[in-house]
Structure formats: C-alpha cells, structure tokens
Structure 1
Amino acid sequence: MLRAQRARAILLIGSGFQDRAWERAMDAELDPYVRAGGRVAVVSRHRSLRVDTVQPENRAGAAELAKALVALGHREFAVLTGPPELTTVADRLAGFREGLAGAGIGLDRVVRGAFTREGGHLAAQRLLASGGPRPTCVFAVTDVMAVGALAALREAGVRVPEDMSLAGFDDIPVVRELSPPLTTVALPLTEMGERVIALALRTPSGAGRSRVVRIDGEVVLRGSTAAPPGS
C-alpha cells in the first residue's frame, strides 16, 4: 500500500522476528521500494534487513539491570517474557541471564505471556500459582507487561516492593506515576524517533552499506525495587 501511495519513506518501528521466512518476505517487499528510490529505516534489531537502523542496546541494558538488582541483595528471580520469536524479547532475556550469571546466579523461572498489559497480568498470575518459593524480584521485559504484573500482584495481596520487587524495561511515561514508581531501563524514546526519521531522510550511504545508530539504556532505580525481605 505504501509503495502504491509513493510514500517518500517507510519507518518500521518495533521488534524484529527471529524467523527467516518472515525476514525474506519483508526483504522482498522492501527491495523494490528501495530500488525505486524509497527510503527505509527501522527501530530495533532486524537481522537480515539491509536498511538503516536505530538499535537500542537491549541486551546490555538488561544485563546492567540484573547487576543493579543483585546489588540490592536479590538472589531469587523470575522473568515475565513475551513471544520468544521477537528479537527484543530474546535480547532482553539473554542479557538478564548474562547479568545474573556474572554473579553466579541462575534463572529457572521464566513465564511467557503476550507483549501487553494483559499478558503481564496473566503471566504474573501464573507465576504466583506455580508453587514453590516465590522469587524476591520479578523482571518484566517491557514496562507494559510490568504494569499488568503490578496489578496482578496487588490483587493477590503481594506488596511491592515489601514482599516482592518488580522491574521493567523502556521507561514509558506512565511508569513514573505508578504507586510505587517502576524501576526500569530507560530508553530515550523521543530521541530514537528523531534519529530514525533523520536516517530515513538523509542521503543513502551508498555501496549497499547500512548505517546503525546504537542507543544505550540507563538503569533507573525507583520505588518498586528494594532489598529483599529479611535482608
């Protein structure tokens, strides 16, 4: 549709897929558009697309978050994660594992849900119903899931952070207004939008080379995390 409308540029905003068939299909759609003079730029990791990219350092940010939570004294963790085929999910989960592994801590409790508030709510309910010792800290791979998880914990009478700490990723504006405000990895979302449109409107780099702008996240500790109970 966008090719037919002769759009000057296409921005693909959102996670890539770890799916070769999807990548080939997307590349087949974008290639004739680019050859006809269109411009394409993306946000997030899209492995095989030969386009300019604004890439948040999801893996490194999640690893730094894990280290910060370990520094608070946590040793028992669970992760609420989205669909594993999304590169954003895969990178954040892998980074969090790496950060824990550096402290000699394993991660056995990973609960999958939809990449939405409702998905986070249901994943948190499943975690609480799974039995066994409860983790002292839960990491939701996106703030949207964390918002749903917070509601589920409240409904179950679990106090945050007194009984269980909770952290997310992205720093969407609403999480600062939660009670308690959410610990997260802050990405400069407005800057990322500005950078991707700038890439799309700049002259192509030539020789088939794609430009990659890497964006670091920053761990922001807020009221949803504290030292674990009894520490």
Structure 2
Amino acid sequence: MKAFANAGDIQYVKDWFEKLTDAGLRPNEVAYGIVIEVHARSGSLSDAVQWLEKMRSASIKPGVTAYNLILKGHSKIRNGTGTSECFKKMLQDSVKPDNMTYGTLAESFAMRSQVQPAIDLIGQMKSASVRPSVITYTSVLKACDRARPKRTESAESMFRDAVKSRCALDAKILSVLDSVVGSSRRSKLCKELGVDEEKLASAVLRKYIDRRAATETRQFRERSR
C-alpha cells in the first residue's frame, strides 16, 4: 500500500483501505496516514482533511505525521491560511509539533516573504524545547532575502543565533546568507563567528563526489550483468 501511495495511486490506496474494513479489520493510524499521504501529495488537500476527520471519527487520534503531511501540502501551494489553520488544529488536538512541523511552517513563511513570523517561529521552537535545525534557520534567512527591502540585519541576527545554538551549518545557509548580505559581509561574519567556510564547501564537494562515484558504480554493475 505504501508503494502505491508513493506512486500517487489514490484509487488503489482507497480500494485497499476498503478491503481492510470489508474484511472486518479496523484500520490503524498507519493505514489512515497512508491514505492522507497519497491525497496530500497529489494536491487533494480537501480530501486529505476529510480523511483526517474520518480518522478522528474512528476514535483514532491523528499523530504529528498526519498533520505534517497536510501542512506540507498547504505549504507547497503557498496556502498560508490553510497552513496556519492546520497548525492551530494540531495544537488544539494536543499534538506536539516536531522539527518537520516547524520546518514546514518556516518554509511557508519564507515563500510569502514573512520575516517576523519566521523569526517568531524560532522562539516558539525553543520554548517548546525543539531545537531548530539548519533547514529551519535557512528558511528564515530565505524570508529575509525575499523581503523588499531585504532584511539584512534580521538575517545577520538569525545567522548569529544559528551559530550560537551550535546548529549543524551547511553550504546552503551560507549561500542564502550571501544573497542577503553580500559575499564580503558573509565572509566577515563567518570569520568573526569562527565558521569555516572552506570546510563546509569541501563537505558539499565530498558529498557530490561520493554520489557521483556511487552512480557510476551502479551503472557499471548494470552494464556488467
């Protein structure tokens, strides 16, 4: 069933779900989650929400995974209202947001150039004892980059916060920082904060080389069959 969900085959997944109920079996959270996932990924968010309600009606409390799927769907189509409403419902259901939840919200704010809500989100994460990831910080910097005029001071402040929190920085966040404040200022900030730019760049290059080597090895084995 999961494979068909990944392939986006909504009808097969629904048929499979009906077979479970016809056989007298009670679908669990995982089964409902798969149906929600296939609808959310295909963009059928209204159907995904309906299945969330069906899940609740069956006395099965939706978990963070189910909500994250719907949040991601709203974020992809830049539906800020839908994203906010889904998050509020999640909190009302006493479902604890995780890093993916906050990351999706930050991404949604970034897409709509909403700097302050993105910054406030970092504070909310800390208050909830959820450590912000580099992905979340990068989304906040993206919001600063897309704002007009660009929010350079906010970007610098959040980058400092990322370093202070010992976030696992990567080349992507440096690239976004560069876009906001410029190469010269980025380099000065990194030097001031003890961030090794060359090391981060080298890590990206190593990952690329490793992926390339793995691809070539796989292709060689396929040709040798």
Q: Which protein has greater RCO, CA pairs closer than 8 Å, 6+ apart?
A: 1
Q: Select the structure that is richer in strand.
A: 1
With the length of structure 1 as denominator, give the TM-score of the two structures. Answer: 0.29
Q: Select the structure that is richer in helix.
A: 2
